Amino acid sequence: MSKKLFENNLSTVMVLLTILTMVGSTPVFARTEIQNKGSDTLVNVAQAWAEEYGKRHADVAVAVSGGGSGTGIASMINGTVDIANSSRKMKKKEMSLAKKKGQDPLEHIVGYDALAVYTHSDNPTLSMSISQLASIYGRNDTLKSWGDLGLKIPGCQSDEIVVVSRQNNSGTYAYFKKAVLGKGKYRMGTLDMHGSKDVVDLVENTPCAIGYSGLAYATEHVKLVCIRNGNDDSCVNPSVKTASDKTYPIARPLFMYTNGQPTGQIKRYLDWILSDEGQCILSRKGYAPIKKISCSE
Amino acid sequence: MDAVEVHRHSFQRNRDWYIDQFVQHLVFLAGISAIVLIIGIFFFITKEGMAFLFGDVSMSEVFGSMFWEPSDEDAPDYGILALIAGTASVSGLAMIVAIPFSLGAAIFIAEFSSGTTREWLKVLIELLAAIPSVVWGFIGLSILNPLIIDLFDVPVGLNVLNAGLILGLMAAPIMTSIAEDALKAVPDRYREAAEAMGATRWQITFRVVLPAAKNGLLGAVLLGVGRGFGETMAVLMATGHSVNIPGSVFDSVRALTATIAAELGETARGSEHYGALFAIGIFLFVITFVINLSADLIVRGVKES
């Protein structure tokens, strides 16, 4: 009896769905769908943009997904997205591969992000220099324990530094490597997390850990390390302001790539993102805008 | 009249003949589809990986280097030594966990239990084998991880121990049912003869049945190893995903399969990184093929003798 009921409901749902699809696909209500994919750092703000834009323009739907900058760029090369988000520049190799496949990726800077270094809330570290970070993350890793830094972390019996990194297609991974290790490479045995939030979550629960992620992923349960450029410089805290005025040493531009000069709906969407309105949304999410803006609130 | 009769008769035969032919070919196609598919998959993987195998990166670097950093712009590293160490350490520990469990269970089911107990146990073991690997991975992530941190006072609980335990529990049910089949294949007259000579049940099991079934048991263990090498999702979730040569069971590692799963969707088709992942695929394919084939041959040898 209940099975019968379920089947009846199911068929009703199917009929409704069919009607809805038919209504949705009639030319009067034609909606342009913009495929937007990539950077995990950008995914939150990209979603906020898509939502706000959808409210203003009923004829455009922006479908946003994350997965990492590498995912976005790979999709751009394979020609399956309209806009690829990336927290790193496209590599020369990727550019030539895209050209070979008939794509012509064009770069747009849509904001700036402070790359914050996170530690556990019980970690007494206040500041670190870029060269200290390099000794922790680099292949000639000379700093292996918190004791080497002269620190004792409560709750971290083994004293070993648990180094948290990102999967190797991440733009954050690539930028951190360039900014901190220069020409060097990462050491072995880093824990490679699959998302910006996973890094912060792991650091939050692991007293021995250190990790890096976009500032927008900061929570009150983790500490942000103040970064010194040289060993003797005074340290700068990561914030929207220090990322804007470029005083924070590891801030990076955030990119959107389109296939050639954008036209039509994609151009209108991109222009809106770069307008005061779009940039205010970005700044509210914890990223630095590309220009001086005045936002309501 | 006669001619018409003959004509109709032959017409009917003709139609039946076509149906017969059609069905015959259909069944033949279905029969060889598995072979065609497996060869197709093998060719696809080889085609995608070939460019890398015969490309600029030397094989001595791939199998000799511990560093896996394929996304580096200037000098990417394609060393899979650490990944092999990861897969081997996890599978090794899994076998240490699974062999006593599964052989013990198989011996109990085949030799010591009877009636409803045996049926119940068999059903439960089948059920255990039906748990999806992502659920095992979730158990590793959310139950074993904090447990290992608390028990052993280590900073991170996603490591060889965690993945090895999970994989061991995953492989055990399959190994149990194959080992049980092997024990069942030992003819009853062996047991009866031993009993007639006054042997106890333990003596029968350990001195008669186990030696007689040893090839089948070895096949069961090998199939378990093959499962360990090929398992992806649970290993991806429970190892900590860290390119590393483990010094202890508390070190995080990364498996070959997990690397493909995590990176393949995110590389551009035709790039060097893409080819490298397919080369890992070829390597895995060859290893599991050899393991499964030898397991199959060993088990078959038992059945024939």
> Could you give the C-alpha distances from B290 to A128, B83, B177, B198, B230, in angstroms and in order?
51, 19, 21, 43, 12
Domain assignment present for A180: yes
Same domain (yes/no): A161, A181 = yes
Has residue A11 got a pLDDT over 70?
no
User: What is residue A105's predicted lDDT score, i.e. its pLDDT?
Assistant: 94
Structure ipTM: 0.78
Domain assignment present for A291: no
Same domain (yes/no): A196, A171 = yes
User: What is residue A41's predicted lDDT score, i.e. its pLDDT?
Assistant: 87
CA distance B159 to chain A (A): 10
Has residue A194 got a pLDDT over 60?
yes
User: What is residue A260's predicted lDDT score, i.e. its pLDDT?
Assistant: 92
Same domain (yes/no): B89, B202 = yes
- Residue pLDDT, tens place only, B48-104: 888 888 888 888 888 988 999 998 888 889 999 999 999 999 999 999 999 999 999
More confident of the two residues A18 and A198: A198
Question: Which A residues, 90 through 129, put their C-beta within 8 Å of a C-beta on chain B?
Answer: 91-94, 97-98
> What number of CA atoms fall less than 13 Å from residue A81's CA on the CB side?
27
Q: Considering only CB atoms, which chain B residues are within 8 Å of A169?
A: 71, 263, 266-267
Same domain (yes/no): B91, B228 = yes
- Residue pLDDT, tens place only, A93-129: 889 989 998 999 999 999 999 999 999 999 998 899 9
The answer to whether A97 contacts B252, with C-beta atoms less than 8 Å apart, is no
Has residue A28 got a pLDDT over 50?
no
Crossing angle of helices B214-230 and B272-304, in 10° steps, is: 170
Cα separation, A171 vs A213, in Å, equals 11
Same domain (yes/no): A154, A191 = yes
Same domain (yes/no): B144, B184 = yes
Same domain (yes/no): A103, A175 = no
Q: Considering only CB atoms, which chain A residues are within 8 Å of B74?
A: 183
Has residue A30 got a pLDDT over 90?
no
Domain that holds residue B107: 68-304
- Residue pLDDT, tens place only, A201-255: 999 989 999 999 999 899 999 999 999 998 888 899 999 889 888 899 999 999 9
Cα separation, A148 vs A187, in Å, equals 17
Are A115 and A238 within 8 A, CB to CB? yes
Q: Considering only CB atoms, which chain B residues are within 8 Å of A167?
A: 241, 262-263, 266
Has residue A6 got a pLDDT over 50?
no
Domain assignment present for A236: yes
Q: Which of B158, B250, B266, B267 to substitute to test the interface with A, most A CBs within 10 Å?
A: B266
Once rounded to an integer, what is the mean pLDDT over residues A54-62?
Answer: 90
Are A66 and A50 within 8 A, CB to CB? no
Domain that holds residue A213: 113-251
Domain assignment present for A230: yes
Residue A293, classified by CB atoms within 10 Å of its CB into exposed (0-12), middle (13-18) or buried (19+), is: middle
Cα separation, A204 vs B304, in Å, equals 59
Is A77 within 8 Å of chain B by CB?
yes
Has residue A3 got a pLDDT over 50?
no
Q: How many domains does chain A have?
A: 2
**Which of A78, A169, A189 is facing B244, going by the closest CB pair?**
A189
Domain assignment present for A292: no
Q: Considering only CB atoms, which chain B residues are within 8 Å of A190?
A: 242-243
Same domain (yes/no): B238, B294 = yes
Helix (H) or strand (E) holding A254: strand A251-259
How many of the other CB atoms lie within 10 Å of CB of B167?
Answer: 30
> pLDDT band for position A2 (50/70/90)?
very low
The answer to whether A71 contacts B265, with C-beta atoms less than 8 Å apart, is yes
Residue of A nearest to B86 (CA): A189
Same domain (yes/no): A204, A242 = yes
- Contacts of residue B105, Cβ cutoff 8 Å, sequence gap at least 6: B121, B125, B172, B176, B180
Domain assignment present for B251: yes
Q: Which of B73, B80, B149 to substitute to test the interface with A, most A CBs within 10 Å?
A: B73
Same domain (yes/no): A135, A86 = no
Report the alpha-carbon angle A231-A235-A238, nearest 5. 130
> Could you give the C-alpha distances from B44 to B209, B261, B275, B279, in angstroms and in order?
45, 17, 12, 11
- Contacts of residue B85, Cβ cutoff 8 Å, sequence gap at least 6: B244, B245, B246, B253
The answer to whether A168 contacts B156, with C-beta atoms less than 8 Å apart, is no
Domain assignment present for B62: no
Q: Considering only CB atoms, which chain A residues are within 8 Å of B68?
A: 168
Same domain (yes/no): B18, B150 = no
Q: Which of A284, A275, A210 is nearest to A47 (CA)?
A: A284
> Could you give the C-alpha distances from B50 to B47, B79, B81, B256, B260, in angstroms and in order?
5, 17, 20, 18, 16
Domain assignment present for A1: no
Same domain (yes/no): A156, A280 = no
Cα separation, B115 vs B155, in Å, equals 48
Same domain (yes/no): B25, B125 = no
Same domain (yes/no): B142, B187 = yes
Same domain (yes/no): A260, A239 = no
Same domain (yes/no): B24, B118 = no
Alpha-carbon A143 to chain mean position: 28
Q: Which pair of tokens denotes residue B267?
A: 């590389």
How many of the other CB atoms lie within 10 Å of CB of B242?
Answer: 25
The answer to whether A158 contacts B241, with C-beta atoms less than 8 Å apart, is no
Same domain (yes/no): B150, B205 = yes
Residue A160, classified by CB atoms within 10 Å of its CB into exposed (0-12), middle (13-18) or buried (19+), is: middle
pLDDT per residue of chain B (305 residues) written in tens, 0 to 9: 455 555 555 556 688 888 999 999 999 999 999 899 989 998 998 888 888 888 888 888 889 889 999 988 888 899 999 999 999 999 999 999 999 999 999 999 999 998 899 999 999 999 998 999 999 999 999 999 999 999 998 888 999 999 999 999 999 999 999 999 999 999 999 999 999 999 999 999 999 999 999 888 999 999 899 888 989 999 999 998 899 999 999 999 999 999 999 888 778 788 888 999 999 999 999 998 899 888 888 877 766 65
Residue B121 sits in a domain whose CATH number is: 1.10.3720.10
Q: Which of A175, A202, A286 is nearest to A238 (CA)?
A: A286
Same domain (yes/no): B31, B133 = no
Q: Considering only CB atoms, which chain A residues are within 8 Å of B73?
A: 91-93, 174
Q: Considering only CB atoms, which chain A residues are within 8 Å of B268?
A: 73-74, 77-78, 94, 97-98
Calculate the dihedral angle through the C-alpha atoms of B30, B32, B38, B39, rounding to the nearest 10 degrees. Answer: -140
Same domain (yes/no): B10, B72 = no
Report the alpha-carbon angle B240-B244-B246, nearest 5. 90
**Which of A73, A139, A158 is facing B154, going by the closest CB pair?**
A158
Is A60 within 8 Å of chain B by CB?
no
Residue A271 sits in a domain whose CATH number is: 3.40.190.10
> pLDDT band for position A18 (50/70/90)?
low
The answer to whether A162 contacts B155, with C-beta atoms less than 8 Å apart, is yes
Are A37 and A246 within 8 A, CB to CB? no
**Which of B73, B243, B270 is facing A97, going by the closest CB pair?**
B270
Count of CB contacts below 8 A, A vs B? 92
Are A176 and A212 within 8 A, CB to CB? yes
Are A81 and A102 within 8 A, CB to CB? no
Average the pLDDT over each of A127-136, A164-173, A196-205, B292-301 and give the range with the smallest value: B292-301
Are A113 and A210 within 8 A, CB to CB? no
Domain assignment present for A297: no
Same domain (yes/no): B34, B100 = no
Cα separation, A22 vs A30, in Å, equals 11
Same domain (yes/no): A193, A208 = yes
Q: How many domains does chain B have?
A: 2
**Which of B68, B155, B265 is facing A158, going by the closest CB pair?**
B155
Once rounded to an integer, what is the mean pLDDT over residues A64-87?
Answer: 90
**Which of A188, A191, A192 is facing B156, going by the closest CB pair?**
A191
**Which of A91, A157, A191 is facing B252, going by the closest CB pair?**
A191
The pTM score is 0.81
Q: What percent of chain A has pLDDT over 90?
A: 56
User: What is residue A25's predicted lDDT score, i.e. its pLDDT?
Assistant: 47
User: What is residue B298's predicted lDDT score, i.e. its pLDDT?
Assistant: 84
Question: What phi, psi does A223 have (nearest 5°)?
Answer: -100, 145
Q: Which of A216, A211, A174, A177 is nearest to A86 (CA)?
A: A174
Question: Which A residues, 12 through 41, put their C-beta within 8 Å of a C-beta on chain B?
Answer: none
> Could you give the C-alpha distances from A109 to A88, A226, A250, B86, in angstroms and in order?
10, 26, 17, 40
**Which of A67, A93, A208 is facing B266, going by the closest CB pair?**
A67
Domain assignment present for B287: yes
Q: Considering only CB atoms, which chain B residues are within 8 Å of A139?
A: 67
User: What is residue B189's predicted lDDT score, i.e. its pLDDT?
Assistant: 93
Residues from B in contact with A at Cβ < 8 Å? 66-74, 77, 82, 153-156, 158, 240-245, 251-252, 254, 262-263, 265-271
Same domain (yes/no): A133, A184 = yes
Average per-residue pLDDT for chain A: 86
Are B217 and B47 within 8 A, CB to CB? no
Domain assignment present for A265: yes
